[in-house]
Structure 1
Amino acid sequence: MIELDGLTRRYGRTTAVDDLTLTVRPGHVTGFLGPNGAGKSTTLRMVLGLTEPSSGTATVGGFRFRDLPRGLRHVGALLDAGDVHGGRSARAHLAALARSNGIGVGRVDEVLGRVGLDSVADRRIGRFSLGMRQRLGIAAALLGDPPVLLFDEPFNGLDPEGVRWVRKLFRRLAAEGRTVFVSSHLMSEMEHCVDRLVVIGRGRLIAEESLAEFAARAGRPEVAVRTADPASLVTALAAEGATVRSDPDGTLTVTGVTAERIGELALGLRTPLHELTTRTASLEDAFMALTAADVEYTAGEGR
């Protein structure tokens, strides 16, 4: 479990992280979202003891990371896939980490196989693609079999197969009872792999809740309906207090009434339905709506 209590980091007059208090619990994949400059990377670095807080605390399992002996046995992290010695082989890189953390060298081959790098284990890292470096970074995070894992932009450079593999890996790690904390700007990928969300803006906490609860912030769900007799159904929906929009392709977009109720009305009218689909807001829609006031850099429309 990761616990932040009043965590704050200032750089002169700039406050990068502002009185952040939250708990990241085990058994979930928790997404960490925020606009550029929101303080996500600074927060992760404070959790790992790489940046000293101006005030407040960041603990893992009740301890500061720097006070944990053999840190990789407690926390595994991928912050920057490029921050490795390009002249070393993947095997040598992981072996050095294993020795410094009291981890048996046999574990090196285990994690290389788990991330799909066993066939290039003796190749120099400088010849790796970004996707291969990401896999190596994940291997390093898994090396100590830790209960807590942090990942910053883990999807960068991965091909579709790699992205799917990472999604499944995160879910499996959470199912094993681990704490999995993932920061990324790729909303579509986060939507597919996280259970809960922590959202910050300008260093302050905006939301800490389930994915479904966060998505619901973007507005009421809509129901798409296609029917052989739209006029009769529209009249019935209006009587229920629903709002109906007729789209050019003939689809009715309905708010204010559930899909179940629409089905009941159509049945009463003996009107066949060709489509009845509930559309909920996407994670991206909810994120943009909630963080609009906290975006530090915005681009103008092209002319």
Structure 2
Amino acid sequence: MIEVNELTKRYGRRTAVDRLSFTVRPGQVTGFLGPNGAGKTTTLRMILGLDAPDGGTATVSGVPFRDHPRGLHHAGALLDAQQVHGGRTAAAHLAALARSNGIAARRVEEVLEEVGLAGAARRRIGGFSLGMKQRLGVAVALLGDPPVLMFDEPVNGMDPEGVLWVRGLFRRLAAEGRTVFLSSHLMTEMEQTADQLVVIGQGRLIAAEPVAVFAARAGRPGVLVGTPRAAELTALLTAAGAAVTPEGSAGSERLVVTGLPAGRIGALAAEHRITLHELTVRTASLEEAFMELTAGSIEYRAGEAR
């Protein structure tokens, strides 16, 4: 388990993390979301003891990570796949970490096999693609077979096969009862991988709840209707108590309808002989929810002079 309590970090006048509190529990994948500059990487670094907080605490399995002897047995992490000595081979890199943490040498071969790098074990890391370096970083995190795992943007540079593999790996690790904490900007990955979310903006907590709850409370579910008689159908549905808005520009043939179920919309259209080209129930979108709830916390916006 990871527990963060009133965690604070300042850099001069700027507060990067502001009295942040949340808990990451075992047995599930917890996603860590926030706009660029929200303080995600700084938070992960403080959890791992790489940066000292100016206030508050962060613990792994009940104690600060620095107090764990031979840390890779307690938590594994991938923060930056590029931060590795390019002149070493993958096997040598892992072997050095294994020796310093009291991990059996055979574990090096096991994790290389697990991440799909067994055939590249004797190659120098400097010649690896970013996707291969990400796999090596995952191998480092798994090396000590720890109960807590943290990953910062782990699918960057991975091909579709790699993304599918790592998604399955995270789900399996959580099913084994481990604590899996995953930071990513890819909403589709969070929707397909995470059970819970921790969302921050400008260093402050915005939400800590299940993915479905977060999406539903800020998304705009409804029924998407396509018809060449949009104006007529809009008047009909409004009279029946629905709220209708064009999907896109005014005069669009696609409408978003809330307040009436799809079956009732279809029945009203049929009753008045209005042709429908589309009738689709829209579920809440994690991306819509994220954009709406973090709108006031975005530090860097495209097209804005600063």
Q: Is TM more than 0.5 here?
A: yes
- Alpha-carbon deviation of 1:262? 4.3
Flag the 1:274–1:93 CA change in 2: closer, same or farther, 3 A.
same
Gaps of 5+ in 2: none
Partners of 2:71 and 2:179 in 1: CA distance: 15
The CA deviation string for residues 21-71 of structure 1, in whole angstroms up to 9 with x for no partner, is 110111221111111211111100010011111111100111111111221
Contact conserved, 2:78 with 2:154, CA < 8 A, in 1? yes
Task: Classify the secondary structure of the residue corresponding to 2:94.
Answer: helix
2:188 counterpart residue number = 188
User: CA distance change for structure 1 residues 279 and 301 in 2, over 3 Å: closer, same or farther?
Assistant: farther
- What residue in structure 2 maps to residue 9 of structure 1? 9
State the distance in 1 between where 2:159 and 2:107 align.
26
Matched, 1:256 2:259: yes
Relative distance call for 1:173 and 1:267 in structure 2 (3 A) is farther
* Deviates most, 143-152 or 7-16: 7-16
Aligned residue in 1 for 2:92? 92
Give distance in 2, aligned partners of 1:90 and 1:48: 23
Q: How many residues align?
A: 302
**What is residue 57 of structure 2 aligned with on the other side?**
57
- Distance, in Å, in 1 between the alignment partners of 2:49 and 2:245 is 54
Counterpart in the other structure of 2:75: 75
SS in 2 for 1:212: helix
TM-aligned CA deviation for residue 224 of structure 1: 2.0
TM-score of the superposed pair, with normalisation by structure 2: 0.89
* Residue 292 (structure 1) aligned with residue 277 (structure 2): no
Once residues 273 and 104 of structure 2 are traced to their aligned partners in structure 1, the CA distance between those partners, rounded to angstroms, is 70
Residue 270 of structure 1, CA deviation: 10
Q: Match for 1:21: what amino acid? A: S
Residues 243-252 or 157-166, more deviating: 243-252
Tell me, in whole angstroms, the C-alpha distance in 2 between the residues paired with 1:45 and 1:260.
Answer: 51
| 1:296–1:238 CA distance, 2 compared to 1 (3 A) | closer
Q: Which residue is equivalent to 1:36?
A: 36
For 1:268 and 1:154, locate their aligned partners in 2 and report how far apart those are by CA, in whole Å.
Answer: 53
Residue 153 of structure 1 corresponds to which residue in structure 2?
153
User: CA separation of 1:211/1:267 partners in 2, compared to 1, >3 Å: closer, same or farther?
Assistant: farther
Tell me the CA shift for residue 218 of structure 1: 3.0
Q: Given residue 258 of structure 1, which amino acid in structure 2 is its aligned partner?
A: P
| Cα displacement string for residues 89-120 of structure 1 (whole angstroms, at most 9, x for unaligned residues) | 10111111111111111111111111110001
Q: Aligned equivalents of 1:228 and 1:289: distance in 2?
A: 31
The answer to whether the 8 Å contact 2:36/2:300 transfers is: yes
Check 1:218–1:103 CA distance in 2 against 1; reply closer, same or farther (3 A cut).
same
In the TM superposition, what is the alpha-carbon distance from 1:238 to its structure 2 partner?
3.4
CA deviation string 1:72-92 (max 9, x = no partner): 111010001011111111011
Check the 8 A contact 2:90/2:122 in 1, yes or no: yes
The match for 2:121 is 121
- Whether the 8 Å contact between 2:109 and 2:118 is mirrored in structure 1 is yes
Structure 1 counterpart of 2:206:
206
Report which stretch shifted further, 15-24 or 179-188.
179-188
Matched to 1:297, the amino acid is: Y
Give the one of 275, 280, 303 matched to 1:277: 280
Q: Secondary structure, in 3 states, of the residue corresponding to 1:299?
A: coil
Corresponding position of 1:177: 177
Normalised TM-score (structure 1) = 0.89
| CA RMSD, Structure 1 to Structure 2 (Å) | 2.6
What is the CA-CA distance between 1:128 and the residue it aligns to? 0.5
Q: Residue type matched to 2:66 in 1?
A: R
Describe the shift of the 1:149–1:237 C-alpha distance in structure 2 as closer, same or farther (beyond 3 A): same
Change (3 A) 1:221 1:68: same
Structure-2 separation of matches of 1:90 and 1:167: 22
The superposition leaves residues 175-234 of structure 1 with CA deviations (integer Å, 9 ceiling, x where unpaired) of: 111111111222232222112111111111111111112212334302124589989976
Q: Hey, what's the Cα distance between the residues in 1 that align with 2:284 and 2:233?
A: 24
The 3-state SS of whatever aligns with 2:294 is helix
Q: Which runs of 5+ in 1 are unaligned?
A: none
| Higher deviation after alignment, 41-50 or 189-198 | 189-198
For residue 220 of structure 2, what is the aligned residue in structure 1? 220
* 2:27 corresponding residue in structure 1: 27
User: In the aligned structure 2, how far is the partner of 1:264 from the partner of 1:174?
Assistant: 45
Distance 2:279 2:21 in 1: 42
